[in-house]
Amino acid sequence: MMHDVIVVGAGPGGSSAASFLARRGISTLLLDKADFPREKVCGDGLTPQAIYWLDRLGCAEEVLAETKGCIHSCDLYINGRHALTGGFPDGTAYPNFAVLLDRRRFDHAIQRNALAHGARFRGGCVVRGVERDADGVTVSARTRGGGTEQFRARIVIGADGVASAVSRAIGNELKQGVAAISLRTYYRDVRIEGAPIKVYFDRSYFPGYGWLFVDDDGLANIGLGYAVDPTFPAPQGLAATFRRFLETELAGPLAKATRCGAVSGGSASFYRPHAIVDDRVMLIGDAANQADPLNGGGIHKAMESAFLAAEAAARALESGDFSRRALSHYETLWKQHIECDWQTAEIFLTIAKNPSLRDFCLFVLEQIGRLTTEDNRFQDFCAGVFSGVVSQSLCLSPRVLYHAFPKDLGAWRAFLLANGGLGGGPIRLARGAVASLASAGAMAARDPLPNLDWSMEVATKVLRLATRQVAEFGGAARQA
Ligand SMILES: Cc1cc2nc3c(=O)[nH]c(=O)nc-3n(C[C@H](O)[C@H](O)[C@H](O)COP(=O)(O)OP(=O)(O)OC[C@H]3O[C@@H](n4cnc5c(N)ncnc54)[C@H](O)[C@@H]3O)c2cc1C
Q: What is the pLDDT of residues 351-406, one digit of tens each?
A: 999 988 989 999 999 999 888 888 888 888 888 888 899 888 888 888 888 888 88
* Cα torsion 70, 72, 78, 83: sign: negative
Domain boundary (249, 269, 289) is at 269
Tell me the CATH number at 263: 3.30.9.10
Nearest CA to ligand 1 atom 12: 297
The letter for the amino acid at 355 is P
* Burial of 202 (C-beta count, 10 Å sphere; 0-12/13-18/19+): buried
Mean pLDDT over residues 191-195, rounded?
94
Same domain, residue pair 56 and 185:
no
Domain boundary (313, 338, 363) is at 338
Q: Looking at the CA of residue 265, tell me the nearest atom of ligand 1.
A: 1
Q: What is the pLDDT of residues 295-326, one digit of tens each?
A: 999 999 999 999 999 999 999 999 999 999 99
Output the CA 294–ligand 1 centroid distance in Å.
Answer: 17
CB 246, CB 465: distance < 8 Å:
no
**Does the C-beta of 286 come closer than 6 Å to ligand 1?**
yes
Helix axes 448-479, 340-352, angle to 10 degrees: 160
pLDDT of 235 higher than 70: no
**Does the C-beta of 181 come closer than 6 Å to ligand 1?**
no
CB 110, CB 119: distance < 8 Å:
no
Output the CA 448–ligand 1 centroid distance in Å.
Answer: 37
Same domain, residue pair 256 and 278:
no
Please choose from 299, 308, 387 the residue to mutate so as to test ligand 1's pocket, defined by most ligand atoms within 8 A of CB.
299
Find which of 173-187, 218-232, 279-293 is predicted with most confidence, using mean pLDDT: 279-293
CA end-to-end distance (rounded Å), the chain: 50
Q: Which residue has the higher pLDDT, 103 or 271?
A: 103
Specify the DSSP element, H or E, that contains 49: helix 48-57
Does residue 295 belong to any structural domain of this protein?
A: yes
Tell me the CATH number at 127: 3.50.50.60
Does residue 222 belong to any structural domain of this protein?
A: yes
CB atoms within 10 A of CB 336: 11
Same domain, residue pair 153 and 278:
yes
Same domain, residue pair 288 and 407:
no
* Cα torsion 259, 265, 270, 276: sign: negative
Same domain, residue pair 150 and 43:
yes
CB 110, CB 37: distance < 8 Å:
no
* Cα torsion 454, 455, 456, 460: sign: positive
Mean pLDDT over residues 89-107, rounded?
94
Same domain, residue pair 213 and 146:
no
Output the CA 120–ligand 1 centroid distance in Å.
Answer: 20
Q: How far is CA 77 from the centre of its chain?
A: 20
Same domain, residue pair 98 and 160:
yes
Nearest CA to ligand 1 atom 16: 298
Please choose from 127, 286, 304, 307 the residue to mutate so as to test ligand 1's pocket, defined by most ligand atoms within 8 A of CB.
286
**Does the C-beta of 223 come closer than 6 Å to ligand 1?**
yes
pLDDT band at 230 (very low <50, low <70, confident <90, very high): confident
Nearest CA to ligand 1 atom 36: 160
Q: Is 147 helix (H, G, I), strand (E, B) or coil?
A: coil
Residues whose CB is less than 8 angstroms from the CB of residue 79 and which lie 6 or more positions away in sequence, other chains included: 201, 202, 203, 362, 366
**Does the C-beta of 225 come closer than 6 Å to ligand 1?**
yes
Whether the predicted model's global pTM rises above the 0.85 cut? yes
Same domain, residue pair 300 and 263:
no
Output the CA 190–ligand 1 centroid distance in Å.
Answer: 26
Does residue 83 belong to any structural domain of this protein?
A: no
Could you tell me the residue range of the domain that residue 461 belongs to? 355-479
Does residue 158 belong to any structural domain of this protein?
A: yes
State how many domains the chain has.
3
Same domain, residue pair 118 and 13:
yes
pLDDT band at 471 (very low <50, low <70, confident <90, very high): confident
Domain boundary (269, 291, 306) is at 269
Output the CA 40–ligand 1 centroid distance in Å.
Answer: 7
**Does the C-beta of 14 come closer than 6 Å to ligand 1?**
yes
CB 133, CB 291: distance < 8 Å:
no
Specify the DSSP element, H or E, that contains 87: strand 81-87
**Does the C-beta of 42 come closer than 6 Å to ligand 1?**
yes
Of 34, 159, 90, residue with least CA distance to 381:
90
Nearest CA to ligand 1 atom 17: 42
Tell me if the bond preceding 426 is cis, omega within 30° of 0: no
**Does the C-beta of 112 come closer than 6 Å to ligand 1?**
no
The letter for the amino acid at 477 is A
Does residue 346 belong to any structural domain of this protein?
A: no
Q: Which residues pair with 73 in a beta bridge?
A: 87
Same domain, residue pair 306 and 236:
no
Same domain, residue pair 22 and 45:
yes
How many Å apart are CA 135 and CA 343, to the nearest integer?
Answer: 36
The letter for the amino acid at 285 is G
Does residue 80 belong to any structural domain of this protein?
A: no
Task: Tell me the residue ranges of DSSP E strands in 296-336.
Answer: none
**Does the C-beta of 19 come closer than 6 Å to ligand 1?**
no
Does residue 329 belong to any structural domain of this protein?
A: yes
Mean pLDDT over residues 128-156, rounded?
96
How many Å apart are CA 433 and CA 64, to the nearest integer?
Answer: 44
Of 165, 167, 177, residue with least CA distance to 278:
167
Q: Looking at the CA of residue 298, tell me the nearest atom of ligand 1.
A: 19
Does residue 76 belong to any structural domain of this protein?
A: no
Same domain, residue pair 124 and 111:
yes
